[in-house]
Amino acid sequence: MWGAALMGDKATDVGIGHERLRTGATVITAVRTIASGAVAAWAVHDRSLTLLVVALGVYWVGDMLDGAWARVRGCETRIGAVLDIFSDRFNAGAFYLGLAWLEPELAPAVFVYLAEFMVVDSFLSLAFLAWPIRSPNYFYVVDRQIWLWNWSKPAKAVNSALFAVLLLVTGWMWLGLAIALVLLAMKSWSLARLLRLGLPVPTAPSGADRSSGSPHVA
Protein backbone atom coordinates (compact mmCIF):
# COMPACT_ATOMS: atom_id res chain seq x y z
CA MET A 1 0.00 0.00 0.00
CA TRP A 2 1.05 3.61 -0.52
CA GLY A 3 1.25 4.19 3.23
CA ALA A 4 4.17 1.80 3.54
CA ALA A 5 5.91 3.31 0.53
CA LEU A 6 5.73 6.77 2.06
CA MET A 7 7.63 5.79 5.18
CA GLY A 8 11.27 6.81 5.17
CA ASP A 9 11.27 8.51 1.77
CA LYS A 10 12.92 11.93 1.56
CA ALA A 11 10.01 13.07 -0.62
CA THR A 12 7.82 12.94 2.49
CA ASP A 13 10.11 15.14 4.59
CA VAL A 14 7.52 17.89 4.83
CA GLY A 15 6.38 20.06 7.69
CA ILE A 16 5.73 23.59 8.88
CA GLY A 17 9.44 24.20 9.31
CA HIS A 18 10.06 23.54 5.63
CA GLU A 19 7.26 25.69 4.26
CA ARG A 20 7.93 29.27 3.25
CA LEU A 21 6.80 31.36 0.32
CA ARG A 22 9.99 33.22 -0.43
CA THR A 23 12.76 30.98 -1.71
CA GLY A 24 15.16 31.27 -4.62
CA ALA A 25 12.95 28.90 -6.59
CA THR A 26 9.72 30.86 -6.01
CA VAL A 27 11.50 34.10 -6.97
CA ILE A 28 12.50 32.48 -10.28
CA THR A 29 8.92 31.24 -10.72
CA ALA A 30 7.56 34.76 -10.18
CA VAL A 31 10.08 36.35 -12.56
CA ARG A 32 9.52 33.87 -15.38
CA THR A 33 5.73 34.06 -14.96
CA ILE A 34 5.66 37.84 -15.21
CA ALA A 35 8.27 37.97 -18.00
CA SER A 36 6.61 35.30 -20.14
CA GLY A 37 3.16 36.79 -19.62
CA ALA A 38 4.40 40.28 -20.53
CA VAL A 39 6.08 39.06 -23.72
CA ALA A 40 2.94 37.11 -24.66
CA ALA A 41 0.82 40.24 -24.23
CA TRP A 42 3.32 42.20 -26.32
CA ALA A 43 3.16 39.48 -28.99
CA VAL A 44 -0.62 39.67 -29.21
CA HIS A 45 -0.54 43.48 -29.31
CA ASP A 46 1.98 43.46 -32.16
CA ARG A 47 0.51 40.32 -33.77
CA SER A 48 3.98 38.77 -33.68
CA LEU A 49 4.34 34.99 -33.72
CA THR A 50 8.07 35.41 -33.11
CA LEU A 51 7.47 37.23 -29.84
CA LEU A 52 4.94 34.59 -28.84
CA VAL A 53 7.56 31.88 -29.34
CA VAL A 54 9.95 33.95 -27.20
CA ALA A 55 7.28 34.02 -24.47
CA LEU A 56 7.01 30.23 -24.68
CA GLY A 57 10.78 29.91 -24.44
CA VAL A 58 10.94 32.14 -21.37
CA TYR A 59 8.22 30.00 -19.76
CA TRP A 60 9.97 26.70 -20.51
CA VAL A 61 13.46 27.82 -19.52
CA GLY A 62 12.17 29.44 -16.33
CA ASP A 63 10.12 26.36 -15.48
CA MET A 64 13.18 24.14 -15.77
CA LEU A 65 15.34 26.61 -13.86
CA ASP A 66 13.06 27.04 -10.85
CA GLY A 67 12.72 23.26 -10.42
CA ALA A 68 16.47 22.70 -10.76
CA TRP A 69 17.21 25.51 -8.29
CA ALA A 70 14.77 24.07 -5.74
CA ARG A 71 16.34 20.62 -5.91
CA VAL A 72 19.98 21.75 -5.91
CA ARG A 73 19.53 24.38 -3.20
CA GLY A 74 17.30 22.20 -1.04
CA CYS A 75 14.35 24.58 -1.03
CA GLU A 76 11.56 22.38 -2.40
CA THR A 77 8.30 23.27 -0.68
CA ARG A 78 4.65 22.39 -1.16
CA ILE A 79 3.90 26.12 -1.40
CA GLY A 80 6.44 26.42 -4.21
CA ALA A 81 4.98 23.40 -6.01
CA VAL A 82 1.47 24.89 -5.94
CA LEU A 83 2.77 28.28 -7.11
CA ASP A 84 4.60 26.55 -9.96
CA ILE A 85 1.46 24.64 -11.00
CA PHE A 86 -0.68 27.79 -11.15
CA SER A 87 2.07 29.78 -12.88
CA ASP A 88 2.44 27.06 -15.53
CA ARG A 89 -1.27 27.37 -16.30
CA PHE A 90 -1.06 31.13 -16.62
CA ASN A 91 1.95 31.03 -18.95
CA ALA A 92 0.56 28.18 -21.03
CA GLY A 93 -2.84 29.87 -21.26
CA ALA A 94 -1.26 33.16 -22.35
CA PHE A 95 0.76 31.43 -25.06
CA TYR A 96 -2.01 29.22 -26.43
CA LEU A 97 -4.70 31.90 -26.40
CA GLY A 98 -2.23 34.16 -28.18
CA LEU A 99 -1.58 31.42 -30.71
CA ALA A 100 -5.31 30.92 -31.30
CA TRP A 101 -5.66 34.68 -31.77
CA LEU A 102 -2.81 34.87 -34.28
CA GLU A 103 -3.56 31.56 -36.01
CA PRO A 104 -7.33 31.05 -35.62
CA GLU A 105 -7.34 27.89 -37.76
CA LEU A 106 -5.47 26.19 -34.88
CA ALA A 107 -8.15 27.11 -32.32
CA PRO A 108 -9.93 23.70 -32.16
CA ALA A 109 -6.70 21.90 -31.26
CA VAL A 110 -5.66 24.65 -28.85
CA PHE A 111 -8.92 24.62 -26.90
CA VAL A 112 -8.96 20.83 -26.52
CA TYR A 113 -5.40 21.02 -25.20
CA LEU A 114 -6.32 23.81 -22.78
CA ALA A 115 -9.23 21.75 -21.45
CA GLU A 116 -6.81 18.88 -20.81
CA PHE A 117 -4.00 20.97 -19.31
CA MET A 118 -5.92 23.57 -17.33
CA VAL A 119 -8.71 21.35 -15.96
CA VAL A 120 -7.87 17.64 -15.87
CA ASP A 121 -4.12 18.02 -15.50
CA SER A 122 -4.57 20.77 -12.90
CA PHE A 123 -6.67 18.46 -10.74
CA LEU A 124 -4.13 15.67 -11.11
CA SER A 125 -1.22 17.97 -10.30
CA LEU A 126 -2.84 19.39 -7.17
CA ALA A 127 -3.84 15.93 -5.90
CA PHE A 128 -0.37 15.52 -4.36
CA LEU A 129 -1.58 17.81 -1.55
CA ALA A 130 -3.68 14.92 -0.21
CA TRP A 131 -0.47 13.08 0.72
CA PRO A 132 2.58 14.20 2.71
CA ILE A 133 4.85 14.65 -0.32
CA ARG A 134 6.61 17.75 -1.57
CA SER A 135 5.31 17.92 -5.15
CA PRO A 136 3.86 15.83 -8.01
CA ASN A 137 7.45 14.93 -8.91
CA TYR A 138 7.40 12.52 -5.95
CA PHE A 139 4.04 10.92 -6.71
CA TYR A 140 5.82 7.64 -7.42
CA VAL A 141 5.69 6.92 -3.68
CA VAL A 142 1.89 6.99 -3.94
CA ASP A 143 1.28 5.38 -7.35
CA ARG A 144 4.15 4.75 -9.75
CA GLN A 145 1.91 4.21 -12.78
CA ILE A 146 0.22 7.62 -12.44
CA TRP A 147 3.64 9.21 -11.93
CA LEU A 148 5.07 7.54 -15.04
CA TRP A 149 2.22 8.78 -17.20
CA ASN A 150 2.25 12.32 -15.85
CA TRP A 151 5.42 13.50 -14.09
CA SER A 152 8.29 11.37 -15.30
CA LYS A 153 10.62 13.34 -17.58
CA PRO A 154 9.29 11.74 -20.82
CA ALA A 155 5.70 12.36 -19.73
CA LYS A 156 6.43 16.01 -18.94
CA ALA A 157 8.14 16.48 -22.30
CA VAL A 158 5.18 15.01 -24.19
CA ASN A 159 2.58 16.99 -22.27
CA SER A 160 4.40 20.32 -22.33
CA ALA A 161 6.56 20.40 -25.44
CA LEU A 162 5.34 17.98 -28.11
CA PHE A 163 2.00 19.68 -28.74
CA ALA A 164 3.40 23.21 -28.98
CA VAL A 165 6.40 22.27 -31.11
CA LEU A 166 4.35 20.30 -33.65
CA LEU A 167 1.76 23.06 -33.95
CA LEU A 168 4.43 25.69 -34.48
CA VAL A 169 6.53 23.62 -36.89
CA THR A 170 3.78 22.04 -38.98
CA GLY A 171 0.77 24.31 -38.51
CA TRP A 172 -1.39 21.20 -38.94
CA MET A 173 -4.52 21.62 -36.85
CA TRP A 174 -5.68 18.02 -37.30
CA LEU A 175 -2.37 16.64 -36.07
CA GLY A 176 -2.51 18.96 -33.08
CA LEU A 177 -6.09 17.98 -32.38
CA ALA A 178 -5.19 14.29 -32.50
CA ILE A 179 -2.34 14.81 -30.03
CA ALA A 180 -4.54 16.90 -27.75
CA LEU A 181 -7.20 14.18 -27.74
CA VAL A 182 -4.61 11.50 -26.94
CA LEU A 183 -3.31 13.64 -24.07
CA LEU A 184 -6.86 14.18 -22.83
CA ALA A 185 -7.50 10.42 -22.90
CA MET A 186 -4.26 9.72 -21.05
CA LYS A 187 -5.05 12.33 -18.38
CA SER A 188 -8.61 11.02 -18.05
CA TRP A 189 -7.25 7.50 -17.52
CA SER A 190 -4.90 8.87 -14.85
CA LEU A 191 -7.77 10.69 -13.19
CA ALA A 192 -9.90 7.53 -13.15
CA ARG A 193 -7.00 5.59 -11.60
CA LEU A 194 -6.53 8.33 -9.02
CA LEU A 195 -10.20 8.22 -8.08
CA ARG A 196 -10.04 4.44 -7.72
CA LEU A 197 -7.02 4.88 -5.50
CA GLY A 198 -8.95 7.37 -3.40
CA LEU A 199 -7.88 10.69 -1.94
CA PRO A 200 -7.17 10.45 1.78
CA VAL A 201 -9.03 13.08 3.79
CA PRO A 202 -8.83 13.86 7.51
CA THR A 203 -11.71 12.71 9.65
CA ALA A 204 -13.90 15.23 11.44
CA PRO A 205 -12.69 15.96 14.99
CA SER A 206 -14.53 14.15 17.75
CA GLY A 207 -16.50 15.96 20.41
CA ALA A 208 -13.67 15.54 22.90
CA ASP A 209 -11.20 17.03 20.44
CA ARG A 210 -13.43 20.02 19.76
CA SER A 211 -13.95 20.71 23.43
CA SER A 212 -10.27 20.47 24.26
CA GLY A 213 -9.20 22.47 21.23
CA SER A 214 -6.56 19.90 20.33
CA PRO A 215 -6.14 18.91 16.67
CA HIS A 216 -7.22 15.46 15.57
CA VAL A 217 -5.19 13.65 12.94
CA ALA A 218 -6.53 10.53 11.24
Q: Where exactly are the structural domains of the chain? A: 2-198
Residue range 197-215: mean pLDDT, rounded: 59
Where does residue 76 fall: left (phi above 0), alpha (psi -120 to 50 degrees), or beta otherwise? Answer: beta
Higher pLDDT, 205 or 114: 114
Handedness of CA 84, 119, 171, 40 (dihedral sign): negative
Over the chain, what is the mean pLDDT?
Answer: 87
For the cut 80, the answer to whether the pLDDT of residue 11 exceeds it is no
Element holding 211 (H helix, E strand): helix 207-212
For the cut 60, the answer to whether the pLDDT of residue 4 exceeds it is no
Higher pLDDT, 1 or 104: 104
Task: Judge residue 81's burial from the number of C-beta atoms within 10 Å of its C-beta, 0-12 exposed, 13-18 middle, 19 or more buried.
Answer: buried
Residue 218: pLDDT band (50, 70, 90) is: very low
Contact criterion met (CB below 8 Å) for 55 and 102: no
CATH architecture assigned to 2-198: Up-down Bundle (1.20)
For the cut 80, the answer to whether the pLDDT of residue 8 exceeds it is no
Residue 118: pLDDT band (50, 70, 90) is: very high
Higher pLDDT, 135 or 75: 135
Residue range 150-154: mean pLDDT, rounded: 93
Residues 6+ apart with CB under 8 A from 82: 126, 129
